Amino acid sequence: MFARSLRNSAVPFSTAFLFAVVVLLITPATHALEMKNNPVSDEERIFESGEIRKLSLSEAIQLALEHNLGLQVQRVSQGRAYLDPLIAEAAFDPLFSTGFSLSESETTSTSIIDGAEVGETSNRSNDSYFMGLSGLMRYGTSWQFRLNGNRSETTSSSPFFLPLNYRSGVELSLTQPLLRGRGKEITETNLRVALRNAESSKLATVRSMETTVASVESSYWDLVYARRNVEVQRSALQEAQELLDLNRRRLEVQLGTRLDVISAEANVATQQSSIIAALNILRDLQDILLDSINAPEFRRSVGAPSLLKDVEIIPTSALNPTQFTPEMEAVVEEALVRRLELAQSDLQIASSKDLLRVRENDLLPTLDLTGSFSQPGNGLSFSESWSNVGDDYSWSAGLNLQIPLGQRAAKNRQMQAREDLRLAQLNKDQLSNGIILEVTRAVRELESARQAVETTQAATRLRREELDGETRRLEAGVSTAYQVLQVQNSLLSAQVQELQAQIRVRKAITGYRNATGTILKDYGIQLEDLLQPGPLR
């Protein structure tokens, strides 16, 4: 059982909580000590070559949670989703702007108002600059604060124009929407949607952990079945060989026939072929498990895709399952609470409602309250112009109204948003029905698998008694070698079916836990803190 619990990081949108899940509780040194205290005997070895590695189910799950490639991809996607709220929050960051311009002109006067005698030519230069901040506030207010400056110089001798003049000023302007675009519900929509998407990505990662654990557990029991199937096939080969030896002895004393020996030899050859096939299946299933775990210790090289090592995995977890009797209604209710896909659906519905609110707001006219306030300053020098700022002032206020005609685009976008909300609600209903069906099937499969174990155990016991009795009858001369051969094959089939039934129970338990969303909890991974809602505003 895992002893670690998942916890959120103190930093928003951090992925650090995931690493608490994948910290190995069994260190390499501990594993080395375990291997030393529990050496592998020759009887446990099935492959003729390769390293030996004992592996418990808990250890396989721990390694998979750390190294599984599918989980690594999901973690990267989650980290990417955690950046979206920061991007959305940046909409309220202030913008700094600055600039300057230079201009020069030469003008021939056509009137004394131009600053020179008629026909005279005068030169003028004008330099301007500005520096300021602007931004958007959460209630929709856009603001701008600027420092402006101007330097003008002319060769004109007219008393209407100073040869050199500096102008400076401070200006603040505000625009507050009163209808369209007003309020935090509108301006923070993208931020709330991004926060929900980040939360949904976190839930998707946890769900990916659940499916990974279920997949690894299923592959682990497949490996257990494959190894025990090899043992069953070898036991059948030994019994076939014993029957062959018996038929040969009977032939020597003229109690049997040559046909009995040939049939027994054919049966031995068939069992040898079955063992070869069983070994191939064992290697394939072991490769599937190790590829899903993807731990570096099982690869020939580190840091790049590579072949699996020549290693023999010996499962150490007991096959006997924990007995429990689920009640259908209670199990379904728990699944509807714990399944993370439903929580993701709730987040999607909330985001769809926010987007619909924005589309409805787009149908409103634009009515903006505007205002500005400025204080200019003039002087014959740069410092003088700024020292005079504050002596004069000016302000303005007004209302701007815009009424779009037709509104076809806005109306159709609103209809799309309403349909998106309806689609999200229908998807949740469909998902709920699917979960109920999945849980119902999982409970039924669990009950059916347990019944199959009882019946196959009884069948194996009876076939064993039948074989013992038929063998004794053959030795007494009241049965035939063919009948013994038939009973041997029946016993082999019963043993394989019993083993399949036992594995079916374990896999049914895995499917049940995955369907109800309790598979991580059953391994000691606590998700209560992890699944707390994010800071939605």
Extents of the domains making up the chain? 16-68+191-349+419-523, 91-184+366-402
pLDDT at 32 over 80: no
pLDDT at 304 over 70: no
pLDDT of residue 529: 44
pLDDT at 530 over 60: no
Distance CA 123, CA 140 (A): 47
- pLDDT band at residue 534, thresholds of 50, 70 and 90? very low
pLDDT at 41 over 90: no
How would you label 407-440 residue by residue, b for 16+ Cβ within 10 Å and e otherwise?
Answer: eeebeebbeebeebbeebeeebeebbeebbebbe
| CATH class of residue range 16-68+191-349+419-523 | mainly alpha
CA distances from 248 to 104, 243, 271 (A): 121, 9, 18
Contact 19, 7 (CB under 8 A): no
- Which of 86-100, 317-331, 504-518 is the least confident region? 317-331
Contact 282, 303 (CB under 8 A): no
pLDDT of residue 382: 81
Structure tokens at 135: 């931004």
H-type helices in 300-407, by residue range?
A: 328-338, 340-362, 382-387
Phi, psi (degrees; rounded to nearest 5) at 30: -65, -40
Distance CA 2, CA 61 (A): 10
Average pLDDT over residues 62-77: 92
Q: Listing from the earlier edge strand, what are the strands of the sheet with 164-177?
A: 95-108, 121-136, 142-154, 164-177, 366-379, 394-402
The three-state (H, E, C) secondary structure of 419-463, written as one string: HHHHHHHHHHHHHHHHHHHHHHHHHHHHHHHHHHHHHHHHHHHHH
What is the residue whose two structure tokens read 């002596």?
391
- Which of 97-101, 206-210, 319-323, 426-430 is the least confident region? 319-323
CA distances from 170 to 126, 380, 393, 496, 535 (A): 19, 18, 9, 90, 39
- Could you report the per-residue pLDDT of 472-524, keeping only the tens digit for each? 888 887 888 888 889 999 999 999 999 999 999 999 999 999 999 999 988 88
Helix axes 328-338, 408-476, angle to 10 degrees: 130
Contact 296, 67 (CB under 8 A): yes
How would you label 2-40 residue by residue, b for 16+ Cβ within 10 Å and e otherwise?
Answer: bebebebeeeebebebbebbbeeeeeeeebeeeeeeeee
Question: What is the chain's length?
Answer: 537
Contact 194, 88 (CB under 8 A): yes
Structure tokens at 187: 């301006």
Q: Is the dihedral of CA 43, 48, 49, 50 positive or negative?
A: negative
Helix, strand, coil share (%) of the chain residues, nearest 5: 55, 15, 25
Contact 311, 299 (CB under 8 A): no
Distance CA 382, CA 387 (A): 9
Q: Coil, strand or helix: which one is 95?
A: strand
Structure tokens at 498: 């019993």
pLDDT at 318 over 50: yes
pLDDT of residue 201: 94
Distance CA 136, CA 188 (A): 11
For residue 238, what are the contacts with CB-CB under 8 A and spacing of at least 6? none
pLDDT of residue 112: 59
pLDDT of residue 159: 56
Q: What residues form DSSP beta bridges with 402? A: 366
Structure tokens at 180: 């369209």
For residue 273, what are the contacts with CB-CB under 8 A and spacing of at least 6? none
Q: Is the dihedral of CA 44, 49, 50, 51 positive or negative?
A: positive
pLDDT at 13 over 70: no
Q: What DSSP assignment string belongs to 299-326?
A: BSSSSS--PBPSEEEEE-S--PPPP---
- pLDDT band at residue 54, thresholds of 50, 70 and 90? very high
Residue type at position 324: F
- Which of 54-63, 116-125, 269-278, 356-365 is the least confident region? 116-125
- Which of 106-120, 200-214, 332-346, 389-403 is the least confident region? 106-120
- pLDDT band at residue 251, thresholds of 50, 70 and 90? confident
pLDDT of residue 95: 95
Which residue, among 87, 216, 279, has the nearest Cα to 519 in the 3D structure? 216
- Could you report the per-residue pLDDT of 174-186, keeping only the tens digit for each? 999 999 999 999 9
- Could you report the per-residue pLDDT of 120-171, keeping only the tens digit for each? 777 788 899 999 999 999 999 999 999 999 988 877 666 555 667 888 999 9
pLDDT of residue 325: 83
Residue type at position 264: A
pLDDT at 7 over 70: no
Helix axes 57-67, 189-252, angle to 10 degrees: 140
Residue type at position 390: G
Distance CA 159, CA 94 (A): 44
- Could you report the per-residue pLDDT of 446-478, keeping only the tens digit for each? 999 999 999 999 999 999 999 999 888 888 878
Distance CA 409, CA 406 (A): 8
Average pLDDT over residues 406-414: 92
Distance CA 64, CA 212 (A): 8
Which helix (H) or strand (E) element contains residue 171?
A: strand 164-177
Q: How much is the mean pLDDT over the chain? A: 85
pLDDT at 103 over 80: yes
Q: Which residue has the higher pLDDT, 222 or 107?
A: 222
The three-state (H, E, C) secondary structure of 5-23, written as one string: CCCCCCCCCCCHHHHHHHC
pLDDT at 355 over 90: yes
Q: What residues form DSSP beta bridges with 107? A: 122
pLDDT of residue 390: 81
pLDDT of residue 400: 95
pLDDT at 387 over 90: no
pLDDT of residue 113: 60
Q: Which residue has the higher pLDDT, 115 or 483?
A: 483
What is the residue whose two structure tokens read 């200006």?
171
pLDDT of residue 362: 93
Q: What residues form DSSP beta bridges with 338? A: none
pLDDT of residue 458: 94
- pLDDT band at residue 378, thresholds of 50, 70 and 90? confident
